[in-house]
Amino acid sequence: MQNKISIFFLGTSFSFLLGSAEVSISSISSTIEGLIGTDTFIKNRPLITKIFTDEDKFLSEGKPDPVLIASRLKKNGLLKLNIGKTQPVILTFYGIGSYPIFAKVLFETIAELGYSKYRIISTASYSTNIVIQIEVKSDSILDPELLSEILQKDGCNITSIKKDANNKWSYQIDTSTAELDVTQLKNGSAIQLPTPITDYWLAVEKNGILDFISTGNEWYPFISFYDKKLSLLQSFRLDKKHETLTLKVPKSVKYIRVSDMYQLNNIKTGLRVRFE
CATH code, 207? 2.60.120.260
Q: How far apart are CA 9 and CA 172, in angstroms?
A: 10
**Cβ 210 vs Cβ 82: under 8 Å:** no
What is residue 3's predicted lDDT score, i.e. its pLDDT?
39
What residue type is assigned to position 144 of the chain?
P
**Cβ 71 vs Cβ 121: under 8 Å:** no
- Indicate the residue among 174, 199, 224 that finishes a domain: 174
Q: How far apart are CA 236 and CA 256, in angstroms?
A: 11
pLDDT tens digits, one per residue of 150-181:
999 999 999 999 999 999 999 999 998 899 99
Helix (H, G, I), strand (E, B) or coil at 30: helix
All residues at 6 or more sequence positions from 256 whose CB lies less than 8 Å from its CB, including other chains? 185, 201, 202, 203, 204, 210, 223, 224, 225, 226, 249
Q: How far apart are CA 92 and CA 12, in angstroms?
A: 13
Question: In the predicted model, is pLDDT for residue 29 greater than 50?
Answer: yes
3-state helix, strand, coil in the chain (%, to 5): 25, 40, 35
What is residue 176's predicted lDDT score, i.e. its pLDDT?
86
DSSP string, 121-163: EEEEEETTEEEEEEEEEEEE---HHHHHHHHHTTT-EEEEEEE
pTM: 0.83
What is residue 10's predicted lDDT score, i.e. its pLDDT?
42
Are 44 and 118 found together in one domain? no
Question: In the predicted model, is pLDDT for residue 211 greater than 60?
Answer: yes
Q: Which residue has the higher pLDDT, 25 or 130?
A: 130
> Which domain does 52 fall in, by range?
4-75
Question: In the predicted model, is pLDDT for residue 14 greater than 60?
Answer: no
Question: In the predicted model, is pLDDT for residue 198 greater than 70?
Answer: yes
Give me the number of domains the chain comprises: 3
Q: How far apart are CA 10 and CA 95, in angstroms?
A: 10
Q: How far apart are CA 199 and CA 104, in angstroms?
A: 13
What is residue 42's predicted lDDT score, i.e. its pLDDT?
95
Q: Which residue has the higher pLDDT, 206 or 170?
A: 170
Are 60 and 124 found together in one domain? no
* Strand partners for 237: 222
Q: Report the percent of the chain where pLDDT is more than 90.
A: 83
What is residue 191's predicted lDDT score, i.e. its pLDDT?
96
Are 151 and 199 found together in one domain? no
- φ, ψ (nearest 5 deg) of residue 127: 60, -115
Question: In the predicted model, is pLDDT for residue 15 greater than 90?
Answer: no
What is residue 128's predicted lDDT score, i.e. its pLDDT?
86
What is residue 116's predicted lDDT score, i.e. its pLDDT?
86
Are 204 and 263 found together in one domain? yes
- Indicate the residue among 75, 93, 125 that finishes a domain: 75
User: Which of 7-11, 38-42, 52-56 bottoms out in mean pLDDT, i.e. has the lowest?
Assistant: 7-11
Region 134-141: mean pLDDT is 96
What is residue 55's predicted lDDT score, i.e. its pLDDT?
87
Region 92-112: mean pLDDT is 95
Length of the chain: 276
* Residue whose C-alpha is closest to residue 111's, from 128, 134, 95, 90: 134
Q: Say which CATH number the domain at 101 has.
A: 3.30.70
The DSSP call for residue 188 is T
Region 69-81: mean pLDDT is 96
User: Which of 1-5, 31-35, 258-262 bottoms out in mean pLDDT, i.e. has the lowest?
Assistant: 1-5
Question: In the predicted model, is pLDDT for residue 6 greater than 50?
Answer: no
Are 87 and 71 found together in one domain? no
Question: In the predicted model, is pLDDT for residue 20 greater than 50?
Answer: no
What is residue 215's predicted lDDT score, i.e. its pLDDT?
95
* Strand partners for 57: none
- The mean of the pLDDT values for the chain is 89
Question: In the predicted model, is pLDDT for residue 74 greater than 80?
Answer: yes
